[in-house]
């Protein structure tokens, strides 16, 4: 096991120059990860369950006004503030993938992790959100359906990472670059989301992350987040 | 008062009664001694007197506990935390506010009876028990909240460190586990601390009751007779406790404050939160003692003998001091945050003072600073119980507002304005909060008729050690060290 | 994680400290054989079952994107893009992703029904009786009409064969989405300019400047996934070159939001802008000014459109400097009275740059574009009103919801003795129908979809069922085939297909050896590849190159946009959202996925410039009454103060405001079609943007479900 | 030799007489361990001229604190090693957090053991003559002594002269 360590360090790059803000990643994530919808009143009260949200601020004044879209998801911090505060180890760092996991069946719902997340990336199951039959038929069997009272958040589609690793090991090879793709990156119509192994300096994600447009959200907090953004902007390169 | 020679009382004083001494006697309980049997009778009378009104209140509050607390809580458990008003990003709401509030209240008992005991502040004697009861019941009410606010309360025991079928131990790096340990420690120790000085009084009650009460007191008093060894044992135990419980008390509220201070939340991450919370807790606790003393004094028989304006006066001075200390810490916290100029923090402070919920912030400042500073310097006001009752109630309103500002109002305005959110407590939350208040009152009502609310032996001990001493032309009270 | 510690180590450690735990939990004889671990792993590490993947085509909009559906144990789990498909190359939008919520929607119609119109009086039927009803309808071949949607091309083909055989009215096709896109206008303009009634294909991938006149190609316009990919390539060109997108639109759509320059032009003035730009570009490039652009002065164009002359000059200079500037006519620019002329003026810009049939330029797609102009629908309504229609078959569209109320379709429908709907859901049209014979949903059906505009090559996308039909539904093609067999006469004589699959196989037989990326010697092999790959397409790019036949010498006549009384009358912009033509409104995750620009969910809203709103005294979340100043109809809708819209315009999304369509759609927001003007442009396209409205506060309020924090983003509390 | 347990009471303000009485008993040849003083308020041994009493409470406290310390150490330094759970980039057994746990559990051990100590000492047999009278809690100082049955009346009368109240032996019983 020990020699295996350090082989995987999953990360993501989101290029804000080509992210259009179309929300396809949001829907893709929700459909892949059995995320419940909550309805109008709950959405209005800030209880939407989306693991991925597109933050939209406005820049400028009319007529030079434009929205700034930024997909916001769990940044899978290396030094995750959500982890140590959990009394029951429900929010832990995975040794193998080097990502931050929420172990649903261990969560007791203190919501401390959510308070301590500087990215507001965590969502809480305020109720049991049941899908009326036969809508429950589309639930993804690889992803737990969460019950009321527990915390959840983006997992980097860990079920796909696991499946990718199993496939690779079944054919006796390493996981190829681009073999594991989370639902958001898979859907993204402009390929603005690139996912891969940051511990491999040659992987596509590592290469893009070295761009001089790269920045990380709230980097000054030192959480060592694994999601890198590439600065967008009207004037870049033109 | 009996005129016969009392070794510890200056006989001269009784012979040459001067107006000065008479006044002092009226003023100070310690200088107004009463024979033991009479005092016992007074306390027992107060305990046994149950008016119709009392039963109405007792049953009313009992029902309120069942409906407001357990009813609403049960509803919340059955439906999910969503029936409360918390939301993203305000994941902690009025439950944690009230939790901190009760833990703060619970500091009074320890403060009054441990710190004042250690420093031998004699005026504490008649109300240490009332304050300790407040500690225990305040903690009982407060300790419910870590359970109430859990998303899955039915597995709360996963936080407890014990060998279990899951083969998991809790995360001792989590402040919530510290919280759990600290509150357990404090709850147990403050209950013990309530119990220890109670033993001689339970024995007293045992001697004066029959039937079921007698049986209970007999068991609880552990066969107390009052031998020298027993007294020594008790004194030693209380001595150790009084010293040991003070750091525990500090640690409890420090750890509660660390729940906030260790995080990355803007406005929480602060090194001053520990002492700031402790001072706030003592301010709120001492105020609550005054509130309760007023109620006890005006509703229970014979208590105007025990609780006198001097006690309101003394506690009032303490409140003024702690209000000033609180203001100092508040200002310290504020100016450093403000001076640092971090964008999010600045925004937060501006919103506290100008946002839609700014009234909470101003309420806090008015009740915690303006009111005590304006009124409590005045001796006449300090000595008027009903005014003190109102002022102390307001101080606790202010302290509640302080916690409300610190928790939901701060959480609602973090680094990402896109995710800001305004929290509105729901009827369920308010019902649970009122429910724990009713629980506290219910327990107190019950206890007021089950255990002697005045530590008779301590009052007697105090009265024995007080005496008048002639100095020059006048007589002044003096205290003898009996122990 | 648990592997990090061997069992032996674990026992050693636990033996030290938690003997108690071992005693409590590790007892019993079986424990010797069971390796226990601490309860540390996430359940996602336990995988069960194997998935089956099917390639098919998304039926949520007519773009024809290839999808791969992950199924497990006979259930459709997740929609993913088909990586080989020429339209979307493995990508997928929100609408496609939620199609499983259509398949498994709890409000689906479970089987054939006879209904009383306007009531909830439903009698279930069996399919034999249903086929008899359809047969009776077909028998009266002179008085039968078909109204179809833009999806299910194979159904359209079959119905065309039937109507041809019976010599009855050809089928109509309608979609509000195509109306908002100005599809008919674009096709008409292309026909008039290049002689072919086809949709043009804009190769934005290789162009360096895009002049976009109202096409919301990142959201709904024609083939959003293909154009999103194009946009990506446009931004990420070789050697770090980055394309420059200029967008003319009165209301900033997501596409304009991603533009480098958004020019809020008055609706209806886009033609003037195109002409002015054409004129300046010609001047800069020292070309003779084409006749088409001669008839304009820059100051007039500036005055009419509200775009400053310097800005026009600036834009023209950017265009003139560019190698492959491409001008796209779409959406808003076309659905005005000037639509057709505007489209031509814009297409002309591409000719001016000799940007036809070159990388980064304009191509023509193959195959006809199945769009019925609204003037034909209007004719159908006339026929209906005249009592000339005995039976109308409605499939794949929801005319009661999607057509402007002022057109009077609903009233006309009442005059049709037999209305038969094939909808899967109880939508507004079903309520007004006599029969519902529910078709399978897209994921349960066979079929094909011709790829029109999203592919740089000829492509037909195949549709196949990925799950067993979950209700007692029947493919409409099979219903018609059964009816055609039993109806007798010309139809029975000419329509000789045993069933849907037979029909499809006969239709694709010509493709067997026509140079696709796979060929097959015989049908069964071809059929299996057809299903396996999700369709058939050419191996390399190949589109028709439009010719420069001196089209620029044609003069263009534009009408001046109407003057509005300030702050009393507003242009109503209607824009498409992820709800598409409205049938997406019953997909809860489409409802809950926030609108990209406003982050609103589960409702519709009206966007008003904050300055205008201030003048009218309107706040966020106020309910206002929006009344058409021409027709007088009005709707009530909630206000969103939108900073990126012209002060003289207001905008509403299309797709909400359902009065039927199940629990997730009903009673949410309002339907702007109710106040649309029924004015048509020269191409017969509904001139949606000619709708003028007045805004009156009602005094009511209703908070919109927004994801953003109003306080945080706008500083309002 | 038969011995009787007798009890006399002094009012609480007769503390001087009470101490005299104890001395008288000493003169009678009754040893310290045959005398117990019970009172409703604590009087230190010095006031009554008695040898210092003795208690194990501090020892209980120290033992409890040690137990708490050991448990805390097990929690802090053993349980994290049972399975490795990395959180927030922290070391597995960080010292700063363990100090908090150690403090709390040590104090918990200390304080609980004091209660246990009090209970154990209360229920374990005490030295000196046994007996009680309800008047004690009315403020009387009771002197219990064991003396030979032959002399008890005499002794009592002697004490009565000093102002003591004599309690009927039948009334002297455990509370």
**Number of cross-chain residue pairs from A and C with Cβ atoms under 8 Å apart:** 241
Q: How many domains does chain A have?
A: 1
The reply to whether A21 touches chain B by the CB within 8 Å rule is no
Say yes or no for a CB contact (<8 Å) between D108 and B189. yes
- Whether B327 is covered by a domain: the verdict is yes
User: Cis link prior to B89 (omega < 30° from 0)?
Assistant: yes
The confidence score (pLDDT) of residue C15 equals: 41
pLDDT grade for D27, boundaries at 50, 70 and 90: confident
Say yes or no for a CB contact (<8 Å) between D175 and B173. no
| List of chain B residues whose C-beta atoms are within 8 Å of the C-beta of residue C37 | 167
Average pLDDT, chain D: 85
- Please tell me the pTM assigned to this model: 0.91
CATH 3.40.228.10 is the classification of domain C179-364? yes
* Span between the terminal Cα atoms of chain C, in Å: 47
For A33-42, b/e burial (b = at least 16 CB within 10 A) is bbbbbbbbeb
| List of chain A residues whose C-beta atoms are within 8 Å of the C-beta of residue D86 | 83, 92-93, 95
User: Which residue of D79, D82, D86, D101 to mutate against A (max A Cβ within 10 Å)?
Assistant: D86
Domain hosting residue A119, numbered range = 2-230
Nearest residue of A to residue D94, measured between CA atoms = A84
Residue A46's nearest CA partner among B78, C664, B411 is: B411
Q: Is C571 helix (H, G, I), strand (E, B) or coil?
A: strand
Nearest residue of D to residue B463, measured between CA atoms = D41
ipTM above 0.95, yes or no: no
Say yes or no for a CB contact (<8 Å) between C92 and A20. no
Domain hosting residue D105, numbered range = 57-123
The confidence score (pLDDT) of residue C2 equals: 42
pLDDT grade for C657, boundaries at 50, 70 and 90: very high
- For residue range B225-276, list pLDDT tens digits in order: 888 888 888 988 988 888 888 899 999 999 999 999 999 999 998 889 999 9
Six-digit token string for B81: 């935390």
- For residue range A58-95, list pLDDT tens digits in order: 999 988 999 999 999 999 999 999 999 999 999 999 88
The confidence score (pLDDT) of residue B18 equals: 55
- Least confident range of A78-87, C48-57, C204-213, D10-19: D10-19
Say yes or no for a CB contact (<8 Å) between C643 and A143. no
The confidence score (pLDDT) of residue C11 equals: 41
What DSSP string describes A86-136?
-TTS-EEE-TTT-SEEE-GGG-----HHHHT-TT---EE--S--PPPTTGG
The reply to whether B465 touches chain D by the CB within 8 Å rule is no
Q: Using an 8 Å Cβ cutoff, are A22 and C93 in contact?
A: yes
**Number of cross-chain residue pairs from A and B with Cβ atoms under 8 Å apart:** 131
| List of chain C residues whose C-beta atoms are within 8 Å of the C-beta of residue B157 | none
State the average pLDDT over residues C546-571.
Answer: 85
- For residue range C39-96, list pLDDT tens digits in order: 677 778 776 678 899 999 999 988 899 999 999 988 999 999 999 999 999 999 999 9
Task: Give C284's DSSP letter.
Answer: H
- For residue range C486-536, list pLDDT tens digits in order: 988 888 999 989 999 999 999 999 998 888 899 888 999 999 999 999 999
- For residue range D107-132, list pLDDT tens digits in order: 999 999 999 999 998 888 877 788 88
- Least confident range of A23-27, C232-236, D52-56: D52-56
Residue A228 has pLDDT above 90, yes or no: yes
**Burial class of residue B472 in the structure, from the number of CB atoms within 10 Å of its CB (0-12 exposed, 13-18 middle, 19+ buried):** exposed
Residue A189 has pLDDT above 60, yes or no: yes
Measure Cα distances from C293 to C311, C548, C554 in Å: 18, 16, 9
Q: Which of C4, C17, C40 sits opposite D74 (nearest CB)?
A: C17
Q: How many domains does chain B have?
A: 1
Residues 6+ apart with CB under 8 A from C579: C585, C590, C653, C654, C655, C656
* Euclidean distance between CA atoms C712 and C486, whole angstroms: 66
Say yes or no for a CB contact (<8 Å) between C601 and A139. no
The confidence score (pLDDT) of residue C32 equals: 54
Q: Is C40 helix (H, G, I), strand (E, B) or coil?
A: coil
Work out the minimum CA distance from D114 to partner chain A, whole angstroms.
Answer: 29
- For residue range C110-148, list pLDDT tens digits in order: 999 999 988 888 999 999 999 999 999 999 888 999 999
* Euclidean distance between CA atoms B260 and B276, whole angstroms: 12
The reply to whether A170 touches chain C by the CB within 8 Å rule is no
The confidence score (pLDDT) of residue A4 equals: 44
Residue D162 has pLDDT above 50, yes or no: yes
State the average pLDDT over residues A137-159.
Answer: 92
Residue A109's nearest CA partner among B144, B266, B91 is: B91
User: Which residue of C16, C21, C31 to mutate against B (max B Cβ within 10 Å)?
Assistant: C21
D119 and D130 fall within a common domain? no
Residue ranges of the domains in chain C?
A: 2-45, 52-103, 113-173+370-451+457-537, 179-364, 570-714
pLDDT grade for C25, boundaries at 50, 70 and 90: very low
CATH number of the domain encompassing residue A13 = 3.30.70.20
Q: Quickly tell me which residue has 């039948």 as its tokens.
A: D170
Residue A187 phi/psi, 5-degree rounding, is -80, -35
State the average pLDDT over residues C365-371.
Answer: 73
Domain hosting residue B282, numbered range = 27-50+85-425+449-472
- Whether B219 is covered by a domain: the verdict is yes
Higher local confidence (pLDDT), A175 or D53: A175
User: Which residue of A68, A126, A225 to mutate against B (max B Cβ within 10 Å)?
Assistant: A126
- Whether A235 is covered by a domain: the verdict is no
The confidence score (pLDDT) of residue D171 equals: 77
The confidence score (pLDDT) of residue C147 equals: 94
* Euclidean distance between CA atoms B222 and B255, whole angstroms: 35
Residue C36 has pLDDT above 80, yes or no: no
The reply to whether C13 touches chain B by the CB within 8 Å rule is no
- For residue range C229-254, list pLDDT tens digits in order: 999 999 998 888 889 999 999 999 99
Q: Is A41 helix (H, G, I), strand (E, B) or coil?
A: helix
Work out the minimum CA distance from B464 to partner chain D, whole angstroms.
Answer: 9
CATH no., domain C113-173+370-451+457-537: 3.40.50.740
Q: Quickly tell me which residue has 């994941």 as its tokens.
A: B91
Tell me which residues of chain B have a pLDDT lower than 50: 1-14
Six-digit token string for A236: 């870049």
Task: Please tell me the number of Cα atoms within 13 Å of C262 on its side-chain side.
Answer: 29
pLDDT grade for C3, boundaries at 50, 70 and 90: very low
CATH no., domain C52-103: 2.20.25.90
Residue C368 has pLDDT above 80, yes or no: no
D135 and D85 fall within a common domain? no
D151 and D102 fall within a common domain? no
The confidence score (pLDDT) of residue D165 equals: 82
Percent of chain C with pLDDT over 70: 94
- The alpha helices in C476-576, defined as continuous H runs, are 476-487, 489-494, 500-508, 523-533
Work out the minimum CA distance from D32 to partner chain A, whole angstroms.
Answer: 57
CATH number of the domain encompassing residue D134 = 3.30.70
pLDDT grade for C17, boundaries at 50, 70 and 90: very low
Distance of CA C706 to the CA centre of its chain: 24
The confidence score (pLDDT) of residue B9 equals: 45
State the helix-helix crossing angle for C476-487 and C127-139, rounded to 10 degrees. Answer: 60
The reply to whether C658 touches chain A by the CB within 8 Å rule is no
Residue A105's nearest CA partner among A83, A84, A123, A90 is: A90
The CATH number corresponding to C570-714 among 3.30.460.10, 1.10.520.10, 2.40.40.20, 2.40.10.340 equals 2.40.40.20
Task: Please tell me the number of Cα atoms within 13 Å of B178 on its side-chain side.
Answer: 25
* Run of H or E including C463: strand C459-463
The confidence score (pLDDT) of residue B6 equals: 44
Residue C26 has pLDDT above 50, yes or no: no
Q: How many domains does chain D have?
A: 2
The confidence score (pLDDT) of residue C6 equals: 47
| List of chain A residues whose C-beta atoms are within 8 Å of the C-beta of residue D90 | 84
User: Which residue of B149, B174, B348 to mutate against A (max A Cβ within 10 Å)?
Assistant: B174
Say yes or no for a CB contact (<8 Å) between C14 and D74. no
Q: Using an 8 Å Cβ cutoff, are B290 and B315 in contact?
A: yes
- Whether B482 is covered by a domain: the verdict is no
Q: Which of C78, C643, C668 sits opposite A32 (nearest CB)?
A: C78
């Amino acid at each position: 096991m020990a020699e295996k360590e350090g082989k995987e360090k999953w990360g993501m790059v989101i290029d804000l120059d080509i992210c259009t803000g179309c929300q396809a990643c949001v829907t893709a994530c929700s459909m892949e990860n059995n995320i419940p919808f909550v309805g109008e009143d709950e959405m209005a009260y800030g209880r939407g369950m989306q693991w991925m949200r597109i933050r939209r601020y406005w820049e400028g004044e009319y007529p030079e006004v434009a929205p700034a879209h930024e997909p916001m998801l769990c940044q899978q911090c290396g030094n995750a503030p959500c982890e140590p505060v959990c009394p029951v180890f429900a929010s832990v760092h995975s040794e193998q993938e080097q990502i931050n996991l929420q172990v649903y069946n261990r969560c007791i719902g203190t919501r401390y992790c959510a308070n301590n997340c500087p990215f507001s990336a965590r969502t809480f199951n305020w109720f049991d959100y049941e899908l009326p039959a036969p809508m429950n038929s589309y639930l993804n069997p690889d992803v737990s359906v969460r019950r009321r009272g527990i915390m959840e958040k983006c997992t980097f589609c860990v079920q796909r990472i696991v499946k990718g690793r199993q496939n690779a090991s079944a054919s006796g090879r390493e996981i190829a670059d681009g073999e594991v793709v989370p639902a958001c990156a898979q859907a993204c119509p402009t390929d603005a989301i690139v996912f891969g192994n940051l511990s491999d300096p040659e992987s596509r994600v590592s290469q893009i992350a070295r761009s001089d447009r790269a920045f990380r959200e709230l980097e000054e907090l030192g959480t060592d987040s694994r999601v890198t953004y590439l600065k967008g902007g009207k004037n870049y390169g033109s | 008062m009996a005129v016969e020679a009392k070794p510890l009382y200056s006989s001269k004083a009784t012979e040459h009664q001067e107006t000065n001494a008479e006044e002092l006697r009226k003023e100070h309980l310690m200088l107004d001694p009463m024979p033991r049997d009479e005092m016992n009778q007074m306390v027992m009378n107060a305990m046994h007197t149950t008016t119709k009104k009392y039963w109405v209140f007792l049953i009313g509050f009992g029902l309120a506990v069942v409906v407001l607390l357990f009813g609403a809580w049960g509803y919340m458990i059955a439906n999910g935390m969503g029936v409360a008003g918390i939301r993203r990003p305000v994941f902690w709401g009025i439950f944690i506010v009230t939790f901190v509030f009760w833990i703060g209240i619970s500091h009074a008992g320890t403060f009054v009876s441990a710190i004042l005991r250690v420093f031998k502040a004699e005026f504490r004697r008649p109300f240490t028990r009332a304050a300790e009861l407040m500690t225990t019941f305040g903690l009982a009410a407060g300790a419910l909240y870590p359970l109430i606010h859990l998303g899955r309360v039915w597995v709360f025991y996963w936080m407890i460190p014990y060998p279990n079928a899951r083969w998991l131990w809790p995360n001792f790096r989590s402040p919530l586990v510290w919280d759990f340990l600290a509150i357990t420690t404090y709850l147990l120790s403050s209950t013990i601390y309530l119990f220890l000085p109670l033993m001689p009084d339970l024995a007293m009650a045992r001697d004066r009751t029959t039937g079921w009460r007698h049986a209970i007191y007999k068991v609880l008093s552990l066969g107390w007779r009052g031998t020298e060894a027993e007294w020594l044992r008790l004194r030693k135990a209380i001595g150790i406790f009084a010293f040991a419980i003070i750091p525990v008390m500090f640690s409890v509220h420090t750890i509660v404050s660390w729940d906030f201070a260790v995080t990355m939340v803007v406005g929480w991450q602060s090194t001053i939160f520990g002492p700031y919370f402790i001072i706030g807790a003592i301010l709120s606790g001492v105020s609550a003692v005054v509130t309760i003393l007023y109620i006890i004094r005006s509703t229970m028989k014979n208590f105007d003998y025990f609780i006198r304006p001097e006690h309101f006066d003394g506690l009032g001075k303490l409140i003024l001091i702690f209000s000033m200390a609180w203001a100092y810490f508040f200002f310290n916290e504020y100016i450093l945050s403000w001076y640092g100029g971090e964008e999010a923090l600045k925004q937060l402070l501006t919103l506290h003072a100008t946002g839609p919920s700014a009234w909470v912030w101003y309420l806090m400042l008015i009740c915690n600073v303006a009111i005590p500073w304006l009124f409590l310097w005045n001796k006449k006001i300090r000595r008027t119980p009903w005014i003190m009752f109102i002022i102390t109630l307001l101080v606790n309103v202010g302290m509640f507002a302080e916690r409300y500002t610190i928790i939901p109002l701060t959480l609602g305005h973090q680094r990402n304005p896109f995710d800001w959110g305004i929290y509105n407590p729901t009827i369920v939350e308010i019902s649970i909060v009122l429910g724990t208040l009713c629980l506290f009152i219910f327990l107190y009502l019950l206890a007021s008729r089950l255990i002697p609310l005045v530590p008779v032996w301590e009052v007697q001990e105090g009265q024995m050690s007080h005496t008048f001493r002639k100095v020059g032309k006048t007589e002044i009270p003096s205290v003898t060290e009996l122990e | 994680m648990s592997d990090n510690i061997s069992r032996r180590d674990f026992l050693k450690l636990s033996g030290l400290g938690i003997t108690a735990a071992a005693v409590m939990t590790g007892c019993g004889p079986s424990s010797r054989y069971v390796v226990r671990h601490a309860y540390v792993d996430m359940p996602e590490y336990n995988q069960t079952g194997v998935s089956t993947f099917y390639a098919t085509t998304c039926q949520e909009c007519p773009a024809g994107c290839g999808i791969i559906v992950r199924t497990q144990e006979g259930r459709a789990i997740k929609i993913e893009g088909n990586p080989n498909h020429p339209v979307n190359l493995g990508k997928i939008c929100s609408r496609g992703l939620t199609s499983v919520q259509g398949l498994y929607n709890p409000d689906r119609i479970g089987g054939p029904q006879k209904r009383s119109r306007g009531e909830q009086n439903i009698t279930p039927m069996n399919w034999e009786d249903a086929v008899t009803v359809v047969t009776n309808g077909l028998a009266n071949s002179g008085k039968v009409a078909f109204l179809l949607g833009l999806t299910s091309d194979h159904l359209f083909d079959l119905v065309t064969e039937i109507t041809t055989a019976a010599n009855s009215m050809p089928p109509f096709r309608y979609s509000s989405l195509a109306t908002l896109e100005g599809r008919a206008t674009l096709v008409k303009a292309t026909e008039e300019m290049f002689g072919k009634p086809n949709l043009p294909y804009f190769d934005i991938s290789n162009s360096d400047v895009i002049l976009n006149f109202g096409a919301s190609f990142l959201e709904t316009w024609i083939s959003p996934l293909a154009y999103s990919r194009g946009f990506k390539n446009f931004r990420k060109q070789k050697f770090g070159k980055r394309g420059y997108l200029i967008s003319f639109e009165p209301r900033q759509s997501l596409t304009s939001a991603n533009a480098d320059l958004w020019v809020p032009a008055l609706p209806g003035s886009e033609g003037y802008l195109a002409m002015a730009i054409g004129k300046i570009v010609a001047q800069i490039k020292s070309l003779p000014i084409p006749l088409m652009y001669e008839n304009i002065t820059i100051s007039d164009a500036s005055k009419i459109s509200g775009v400053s002359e310097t800005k026009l000059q600036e834009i023209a200079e950017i265009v003139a400097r560019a190698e492959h500037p491409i001008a796209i006519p779409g959406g808003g620019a076309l659905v005005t009275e000037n639509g057709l002329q505007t489209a031509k003026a814009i297409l002309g810009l591409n000719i001016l740059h000799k940007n036809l049939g070159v990388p980064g330029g304009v191509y023509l797609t193959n195959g006809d574009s199945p769009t019925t102009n609204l003037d034909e629908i209007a004719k159908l309504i006339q026929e209906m009103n005249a009592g000339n229609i005995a039976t109308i078959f409605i499939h794949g569209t929801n005319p009661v919801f999607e057509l402007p109320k002022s057109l009077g379709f609903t009233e006309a429908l009442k005059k049709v003795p037999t209305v038969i709907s094939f909808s899967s859901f109880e939508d507004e049209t079903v309520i007004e129908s006599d029969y519902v014979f529910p078709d399978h949903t897209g994921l349960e059906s066979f079929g094909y979809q011709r790829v029109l505009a999203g592919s740089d090559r000829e492509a037909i996308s195949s549709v196949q069922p990925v799950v067993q039909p979950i209700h007692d539904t029947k493919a409409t093609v099979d219903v018609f085939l059964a009816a055609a067999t039993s109806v007798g006469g010309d139809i029975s004589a000419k329509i000789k297909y045993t069933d849907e699959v037979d029909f499809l196989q006969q239709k694709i037989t010509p493709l067997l050896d026509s140079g696709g990326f796979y060929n097959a010697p015989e049908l069964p092999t071809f059929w299996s590849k057809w299903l396996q790959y999700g369709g058939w397409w050419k191996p390399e790019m190949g589109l028709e190159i439009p010719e420069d036949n001196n089209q620029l010498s044609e003069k263009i006549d534009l009408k001046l946009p109407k003057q509005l009384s300030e702050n009393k009358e507003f242009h109503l912009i209607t824009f498409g959202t992820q709800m598409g033509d409205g049938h997406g409104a019953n997909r809860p995750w489409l409802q809950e996925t926030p609108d990209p620009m406003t982050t609103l969910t589960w409702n519709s809203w009206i966007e008003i410039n904050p300055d205008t709103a201030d003048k009218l005294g309107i706040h966020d979340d106020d309910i206002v009454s929006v009344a058409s100043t021409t027709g007088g109809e009005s709707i009530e809708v909630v206000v969103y103060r939108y900073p990126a819209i012209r002060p003289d315009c207001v905008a509403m999304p299309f797709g909400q405001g359902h009065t039927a369509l199940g629990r997730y759609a009903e009673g949410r927001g309002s339907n702007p079609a109710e106040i649309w003007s029924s004015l048509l442009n020269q191409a017969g396209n509904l001139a949606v943007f000619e709708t003028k409205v007045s805004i009156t506060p009602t005094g009511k309020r209703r908070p919109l479900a927004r994801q953003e924090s109003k306080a945080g983003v706008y500083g309002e509390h | 030799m038969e011995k009787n347990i007798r009890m006399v009471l002094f009012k609480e303000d007769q503390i001087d007489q009470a101490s005299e009485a104890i001395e008288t008993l000493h003169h009678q040849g009754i040893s310290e361990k045959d005398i117990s003083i019970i009172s409703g308020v604590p009087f230190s041994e010095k006031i009554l001229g008695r040898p210092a009493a003795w208690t194990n409470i501090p020892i209980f406290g120290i033992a409890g604190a040690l137990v708490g310390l050991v448990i805390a150490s097990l929690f802090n330094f053993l349980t994290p090693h049972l399975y490795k759970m990395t959180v927030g980039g922290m070391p597995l057994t960080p010292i700063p957090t363990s100090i908090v746990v150690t403090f709390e559990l040590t104090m918990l051990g200390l304080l609980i053991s004091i209660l246990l100590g009090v209970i154990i000492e209360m229920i374990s047999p005490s030295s000196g003559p046994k007996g009680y009278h309800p008047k004690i809690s009315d403020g009387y100082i009771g002197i219990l002594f064991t003396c030979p049955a032959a002399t008890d009346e005499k002794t009592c009368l002697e004490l009565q002269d000093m102002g003591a109240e004599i309690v009927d032996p039948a009334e002297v019983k455990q509370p």
